[in-house]
Amino acid sequence: MTGSVAIADAGWWRRVRILFGACFRAAPRHATALFACQLAATACTLAATYGVKVVTDAALHAQAGRALAAAGLMAGATGLAAVFGRGYLQLTTTVSERAGRYIDSELMRLAGTIPTIEHYERPQYADQLALIRQERAGMAGMLNAVVLNLRVVVSFAGGIAILATLDPILALLPLFGIPALLANRYAAGLAQRARERSAPHTRLRNHLFQTAASAPAGKELRVYGLLDDILDRHRAISERVERDARRAALRGLAATTGAAVVFAGAYIAALLLVLVAAVHGHATAGTLVLTLSLAGLINAQLASAVQYASYLRRVLSAGGRLAWLTDYSRTAGPDQERLAEPPVRLRDGIDLDGVCFRYAENRVGSPEPSRGRLLPPRQPGSERRAPETDPLVLDQITVHLPAGAVVALVGENGSGKTTLVKLLSGLYRPTAGGIRADGTDLATIDPAGWQRRVSPAFQDFVRFEFTLGESVGLGDLPRAADPDAVAAALRRAGAGELAELPPHGLGTQLGTAWGGVDLSGGQWQKLALGRAFMRERPLLVVFDEPTAALDAFTEQALFRDIAEATRAVPRSERPITLLVSHRFTTAAMADLVIVLDHGRIAELGDHATLLGNGGLYAELHELQARAYR
Ligand SMILES: Nc1ncnc2c1ncn2[C@@H]1O[C@H](COP(=O)(O)OP(=O)(O)OP(=O)(O)O)[C@@H](O)[C@H]1O
């Protein structure tokens, strides 16, 4: 394990390389042309500025030919600067769009390749991701930011060189711009820190907005009359964010205004110097006009430098987050070289050996190792540091899940069933203890490989608003476009009739937001079940209450079919089937029932034995049976 990963770990040079790499990889020709255009435009602007002196002096000395030629060259240089400037703008748009697309895919890839899901629940990680999403458009402007700063540097250097030829003292003028640059750096730092401080509040504000503006929450908002409450919360949190940003902006403004006054004083002094020299005949009128133009150019560049330097800083700090995410996704995953492939078939089964789990690091307010740092998930062999005070959600779970068995997991709300399912699916790693598949520790098996051999139907399944066929076919991407495979999976999920859903059967678009069809809660659940049936040779099939929206009889029939279909396959070919349900008719079909109570195994055995024991299982069974009588 490489330890914690911090934003500050990514040096400036690395950030530049990452973002430059994105721009040049996304649009190599356009990026090169963009550079050339901006440099050419800058050179033309400087040439046109110097032309002012030549034209003025030639006119005053009645050198009409020289004045006309210089004016013609000036006009040409100005025209060319405008053409290059337009070309530059066009190229900037193209490069930014393509680099933005490239960075978006990179972000999706990085966030999605971390094999476990613990990081999604860590506040610090969520804040960083929210900031990355906010700043991702800015990252694509890296090339633009560099080129604009380069233009400022070239204009400055050119301006100084020309001023030095007029009077060496005038070359000192740009030095008075340094306080402005420092003040800008200070102001940008203040604004950045304010943004980082506000990240959790901004995230909450976005959540409130999404809640108030999204369709799924619409029903409860109306029925419970929650809108005003949400608006109040949104207003309060927004004011807090804005107050912090305003305070930082005011302090920054005070610093940059002071620095601007310093430059204005130097500007006036330079003009007086040339004016006095002109009055005494030591400088020509052309020199005076050129000094005026150059001082104006430098002043404009200075204002731009302040803006562009802060733009570059922002882009680079966003680049730092991208570098952080790159490192985080690399260190969060296990060492690929030491990983084994999952077994082809389970011969013995899955053993849980003293498995403990706590969500310690994910809790809001859990101690941070250090500012801005995140601990990657535990690697094999290293114990996670979790405060002893945090409750264990799973405590000393030791059980053997025999190969080919149908196992039911029952227990009251919050007893740890879903958590156990996620551990078995390789989405979390145990805080202590181990899980072994045919004797091999899951921590040493490639998590992505293991997850490819798990067929899950989760309680909080996703409603993929694609076509109906795609929504089911996603369960096994290589066969996603095979209508026979999709229809068969739907039949196994007890939803064969959905294959004929009007108007286009499997080709029917789902989701009214896309002009498609909406399904009932139960139908959406059956699609999620269908996805779980797509995989051909899973080692573990998990149904984590995917039938909560189905009536008891449908659920019973469905699980009976699943159990029968499983048992029809030779035992050596069967996956382990894990059923999580609150209905005891379902548990009765299992070979083995695990009763969880407050994260511990309360009872273990088959339905008949557990009923005979007269323990928690029998008690809950009796309660439910009474409710149905
Ligand atoms: N992401 C999380 N972060 C922190 N705590 C969590 C998280 N998910 C679950 N918990 C806690 O872990 C405990 C077990 O939750 P789990 O979802 O595993 O229970 P369950 O038996 O599946 O419940 P249910 O029957 O209601 O689905 C609960 O106390 C819950 O509050």
Domain ranges, ordered by start, for the chain: 9-331, 342-365+376-453+538-629, 460-536
Kindly state the helix (H) or strand (E) to which residue 92 belongs, with its residue range. Answer: helix 64-113
Least confident stretch, 126-135, 496-505, 513-522, 590-599: 126-135
* 565, pLDDT greater than 70: yes
Distance separating alpha carbons of residues 117 and 545, to the nearest angstrom: 20
From the CA of 130, how far away is ligand 1's center (Å)?
A: 25
Location of structure tokens 């613990």: 118
Q: Between 2 and 513, name the one with better pLDDT.
A: 513
The mean pLDDT of 399-419, rounded to a whole number, is 92
| pLDDT confidence band for 548 (50 / 70 / 90) | low
- 248 has a pLDDT exceeding 60: yes
Residue 336 has a pLDDT of: 62
**Encoding tokens for residue 324?**
């952080």
Which residue type sits at 1? Answer: M
Probe residue for ligand 1, chosen from 116, 362, 393 as the CB with the greatest number of ligand atoms within 8 Å: 393
The CA-atom distances, in angstroms, between 148 and each of 81, 141, 159, 308, 309 are 14, 10, 16, 7, 9
Q: How far is the CA of 452 from the centre of ligand 1 (A)?
A: 24
Over residues 131-149, mean pLDDT: 81
| CATH superfamily placement of domain 342-365+376-453+538-629 | P-loop containing nucleotide triphosphate hydrolases (3.40.50.300)
The predicted pLDDT at position 560 comes to: 80
Determine which of 20-34, 124-138, 428-442 has the lowest per-residue pLDDT on average.
124-138
In 3D space, the residue among 204, 166, 154 whose CA is nearest the CA of residue 53 turns out to be 166
Helix (H) or strand (E) holding 350: strand 349-357
Bigger pLDDT: 193 vs 222: 193
Please write down the HEC assignment for all residues of 290-340. Answer: HHHHHHHHHHHHHHHHHHHHHHHHHHHHHHHHHHHHHHHHHHHCCCHHHCE
pLDDT over 90, % of the chain: 28
Helices 28-60 and 12-26 cross at an angle (nearest 10°) of: 100
pLDDT at residue 384, as a whole number: 44
* Predicted confidence (pLDDT) at residue 373 exceeds the cutoff of 70: no
Taking a C-beta distance cutoff of 8 angstroms, is the pair 436, 353 a contact? yes
CATH number of 9-331: 1.20.1560.10
User: Is residue 20's pLDDT more than 60?
Assistant: yes
CA distance 160 to 42: 14
Query: Which of the listed residues 355, 418, 461 should we mutate to test ligand 1's pocket, taking the one with most ligand atoms within 8 A of CB?
Result: 418
- The residue with tokens 């937001």 is 513
Residue bearing the CA closest to ligand 1, atom 24: 413
Q: Does residue 553 carry a pLDDT above 70?
A: yes
Q: Quick one: which atom of ligand 1 is closest to the CA of 459?
A: 27
Mean pLDDT value across residues 570-587: 84
Rounded Cα distance, 123 and 275, in Å: 62
Cα(513)–Cα(379) distance, integer angstroms: 42
Residue type at 281 in one-letter notation:
G
Packing angle of the helix pair 142-166, 64-113 (nearest 10 deg): 150
pLDDT digits (tens, 9 = 90+) for 336-352: 666 788 888 999 999 99
Task: Kindly compute the dihedral angle of the four CA atoms of residues 130, 133, 138, 141, in this order, to the nearest 10 degrees.
Answer: 150
Is the per-residue pLDDT at 383 higher than 70?
no
Alpha carbon nearest to ligand 1 atom 28, residue = 414
pLDDT of residue 360: 66
Residue 340 tokens, joined: 């084994």
Reported as a single tens digit per residue, the pLDDT across 102-111 is 888 888 888 7
Closest-CA residue, ligand 1 atom 26, reads: 413
Interface pTM (ipTM) of the complex? 0.97
pLDDT digits (tens, 9 = 90+) for 249-295: 999 999 989 988 988 888 888 888 888 888 888 888 888 888 888 87
Summarised one tens digit per residue, pLDDT across range 460-484 is 888 999 999 999 999 888 888 899 9
Euclidean distance between the first and the last CA atom of the chain, given in angstroms as a whole number: 57
Return the higher-pLDDT residue of 366 and 227. Answer: 227
d(CA 473, CA 468): 9
- From the CB of residue 140, how many other CB atoms can be counted at a distance below 10 Å? 25
Residue closest by Cα to atom 27 of ligand 1: 413
pLDDT beyond 90 at 506: yes
Average pLDDT in the chain: 83
The atom of ligand 1 lying closest to the CA of 121 is 1
Angle, alpha carbons 602-604-610 (nearest 5°) = 95
Task: Write the DSSP string, 538-602.
Answer: -SEEEEESTTTTS-HHHHHHHHHHHHHHHHHS-GGGPPEEEEE-S-HHHHTT-SEEEEEETTEEE
Cβ atoms of 323 and 14 closer than 8 Å: yes
Cβ(489)–Cβ(534) under 8 Å?
yes
The pLDDT value recorded for residue 229 is 87
For residue 48, pLDDT beyond 70: yes
> Which residues have a Cβ under 8 Å from the Cβ of 572 and sit 6 or more positions away?
345, 347, 403, 404
Which has more confidence, 454 or 181? Answer: 454
CATH topology agreement for domains 9-331 and 342-365+376-453+538-629: no
- Residue pair 352/34 in contact (Cβ under 8 Å)? The answer is no
**Cα separation, 402 vs 397, whole angstroms:** 15
- Kindly provide the b/e burial profile for residues 273-287, where b requires at least 16 CB atoms within 10 angstroms of the residue's own CB: bbeebbeeeebbebb
Determine the Cα–Cα distance for residues 96 and 91; give it in Å rounded to an integer: 8
**Beta strands 349-357 and 394-402: pairing type?**
antiparallel
Using CA atoms, how far residue 203 sits from 104, 196, 284, in Å, is 19, 11, 62
Whether pLDDT at 376 is above 50: no
CA 48 to CA 70: how far, in whole Å?
A: 9
Q: What is the DSSP letter of 445?
A: B
Residue 456, classed as helix, strand or coil, is strand
Residue 372 confidence class, pLDDT cut points 50, 70, 90: very low
pLDDT at 513: 78
- What beta strand segments (E) does 45-138 contain? none
**Whole-number pLDDT of residue 405:** 92
pLDDT at 84 over 60: yes
Query: For ligand 1, what atom is nearest to the CA of residue 412?
Result: 25
Closest CA to 128 of 26, 8, 208: 8
Tell me which DSSP letter residue 509 carries: B
C-alpha of residue 578 to centroid of ligand 1, in Å: 18
Question: What pLDDT is stored for residue 619 in this prediction?
Answer: 87
Distance 117 CA to ligand 1 centre (A): 14
Is-contact 541 346, C-beta < 8 A? Answer: no
Sequence length of the chain is 629
